[in-house]
Amino acid sequence: MKLPHPIQYQGSKRNLASIILRYFPVKFSRLVEPFAGTAAISIACAARGKCNAYWINDLNNPLAELLGLIINRPAEIADCYETIWNQQHDDPIEHYYRVREDFNLTRDPRLFLYLLARCAKGSVRYNAEGLFNQSPDKRRHGTQPETMRENIFGVSVLLKGKSVISSLDYKDVLSNANEDDVVYMDPPYQGVCGDRDSRYFSGLSYEEFAAALSDLNIRQIRYAVSYDGRTGNKKFGNRLPESLSLTLIELEAGRSSQATLLGRDAITVESLYLSPRLAIEVKASPYFHRRRETEQLVLMESKGDYAAKVSKRIS
pLDDT in tens, 241-290: 999 999 999 998 766 555 554 555 677 888 999 999 999 999 999 998 87
Q: Please give the Cα distance from 116 to 111 (Å, whole number).
A: 9
Q: Please give the Cα distance from 136 to 197 (Å, whole number).
A: 20
Q: How far is CA 311 from CA 15, 39, 115, 151, 242, in A?
A: 18, 19, 29, 13, 42
CATH assignment of 17-71+149-314, among 3.40.50.880, 3.40.50.11750, 3.40.50.150, 3.40.1380.20: 3.40.50.150
Residue 277 in contact with residue 247, Cβ under 8 Å? no
Q: Which helix (H) or strand (E) holds 231?
A: strand 222-231
pLDDT in tens, 71-113: 999 999 999 999 999 999 889 999 999 999 999 999 999 999 9
- Specify the pLDDT at position 11: 63
Give the Cβ contact number of residue 154 at 10 Å. 22
Per-domain residue ranges of the chain: 17-71+149-314
Q: Is the pTM of this model over 0.75?
A: yes
pLDDT, mean of residues 174-186 = 97
Q: Which helix (H) or strand (E) holds 103?
A: helix 92-106
Q: Tell me: pLDDT of 293 over 90.
A: no
pLDDT, mean of residues 43-52 = 96
Report residue 310's pLDDT band, with 50, 70 and 90 as the boundaries.
very low
Higher-pLDDT residue of 305, 251: 251
- Give me the percent of the chain exceeding a pLDDT of 70: 82
Q: For residue 80, give the 3-state DSSP assignment.
A: helix
